[in-house]
Amino acid sequence: MTRAVVFAGPSIDAATIAELASVEVRPPVKRGDIDLLLAEPEPPTHIGIVDGQFLQGLMISPKEVLRAIDRHPNPVRVFGSSSMGALRAAELASEGMVGVGQVFELYRSGTVDADDEVAIVFDPDSQRALCEPMVNIRVAMAAAVERGVISPDSAATVLAEAKALYFPDRTYTRILQLPVVRKQVSDVELTALREFLGTDAPDAKRDDAMALLRRMDL
């Protein structure tokens, strides 16, 4: 019998998950959640980790994921993408965790290596993100350059200033109002970038979460 559980929240809404796969949706994972699942009378056969807790609770440890992967006699297939899932999948790919999507590839390639790249704070009731994850900013700036919205130099300025902020403070509104950004990026580019971010910018975390659900093939 197949039973799939996906830990998700800010990266993708429950309605979209329901359209793509038949899974049980749990809030962003925290330490102890997977161990509790494994202790149930009928543990899941598949676990997807999209979002996890950073400031709100203890982060899930690699060892807890490994206990699911190595469960005997019925190992659990564990997938990761987007946020905490991508971070842990990059660490545990050689141990059998399946990583999916752009964010996972950024970690696996070593392009990014810090937890704060995917860290956000979110409203615990609505699961709405209260800031912008650094990886989304990176992917959005790359797309803005590719589409001619801003120059590579301007994108580099935005990225550097965003990275310098403490992760809960990373919002596009705040970043684009930073003195260095306003000084080094032209008004024309800033106007175009604001429009792009509000309408056409990719959402790497959401796209990767959707890819994870498809990869689980349930």
Residue 119 belongs to a domain: no
- pLDDT of 92 reads 97
Residue 128 belongs to a domain: no
| Model confidence, pTM | 0.92
Distances from the Cα of 29 to the Cα of 37, 43, 94, 115, 147, angstroms:
11, 16, 22, 15, 36
Residue 9 belongs to a domain: yes
Instruction: Clarify whether residues 140 and 179 are in a common domain.
Output: yes
Residue 15 belongs to a domain: yes
- pLDDT of 200 reads 92
Instruction: Clarify whether residues 148 and 103 are in a common domain.
Output: no
Instruction: Clarify whether residues 91 and 151 are in a common domain.
Output: no
Distances from the Cα of 99 to the Cα of 15, 94, 189, 208, 211, angstroms:
23, 10, 35, 10, 10
Residue 53 belongs to a domain: yes
Instruction: Clarify whether residues 192 and 212 are in a common domain.
Output: no
Instruction: Clarify whether residues 100 and 9 are in a common domain.
Output: yes
Closest listed residue to residue 13, CA positions, set 47, 45, 50, 44 = 50
Instruction: Clarify whether residues 69 and 106 are in a common domain.
Output: yes
Fill in the amino acid letter for 159. L
Tens-level pLDDT at each residue, the chain (218 residues): 899 999 999 999 989 999 999 999 999 999 999 999 999 999 999 999 999 987 666 889 999 999 999 999 999 999 999 999 999 999 999 999 999 999 999 999 999 999 999 988 888 888 889 999 999 999 999 999 999 999 999 999 999 999 999 999 999 999 999 999 999 999 999 999 999 999 999 999 999 999 999 999 76
Instruction: Clarify whether residues 30 and 81 are in a common domain.
Output: yes
Residue 127 belongs to a domain: no
Domain that holds residue 149: 134-199
Instruction: Clarify whether residues 172 and 209 are in a common domain.
Output: no
Instruction: Clarify whether residues 21 and 83 are in a common domain.
Output: yes
Instruction: Clarify whether residues 80 and 109 are in a common domain.
Output: yes
Instruction: Clarify whether residues 165 and 68 are in a common domain.
Output: no
